[in-house]
């Protein structure tokens, strides 16, 4: 299968899915996982993803709109707004778990685990601070 055939296969498959089917798709590392779709292709999965990057980016954007892929920037903004809305007294009474602020109540409706959310929030924050230096 050539790259254009892979692209056609991906787009035909995507357009054939219902909204409910899209909501139940496997997600891996903040993106849709197409391994099953291209399992019989001789081309490496990672090479296919690289060549279909724009199409996958569009699919991921639609999945974010559907709430399938969590929007980390939205959660980061919510956390920032919540923290800034607290008085100094309220900040001192925020629940602490394992020497860090416990944010479970703030993010109880999210579809990924609390542990994964914390990792993603910290990962992006640490990357941003490193890039400033």
pLDDT tens-digit profile of 61-120? 999 888 888 778 888 888 899 999 999 999 888 888 888 888 888 877 777 777 878 887
Does residue 130 or residue 119 have the better pLDDT? 119
Nearest Cα to 111, choosing from 58, 78, 79, 63?
A: 63
| 85 φ/ψ sector (left φ>0, alpha ψ -120 to 50, else beta) | alpha
Mean pLDDT of the chain: 84
How far apart CA 68 and CA 76 sit, in angstroms, is: 17
- Whole-number pLDDT of residue 19: 93
Report if pTM > 0.75: no
> Residues 1-39, buried b or exposed e (16+ Cβ, 10 A)?
eeeeebeebbeeebeeeeeeeeeebeeeeeebebeebbe
């Amino acid at each position: 299968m050539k790259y254009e055939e892979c692209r056609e296969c991906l787009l035909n498959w995507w357009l054939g899915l219902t909204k409910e089917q899209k909501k139940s798709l496997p997600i891996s590392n903040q993106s849709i996982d197409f391994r099953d779709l291209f399992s019989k292709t001789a081309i490496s999965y990672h090479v296919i993803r690289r060549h279909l990057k724009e199409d996958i980016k569009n699919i991921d954007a639609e999945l974010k709109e559907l709430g399938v892929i969590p929007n980390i920037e939205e959660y980061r903004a919510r956390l920032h707004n919540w923290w800034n809305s607290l008085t100094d007294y309220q900040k001192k009474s925020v629940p602490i778990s394992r020497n860090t602020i416990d944010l479970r109540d703030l993010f109880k409706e999210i579809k990924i685990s609390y542990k994964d959310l914390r990792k993603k929030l910290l990962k992006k924050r640490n990357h941003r601070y490193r890039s400033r230096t």
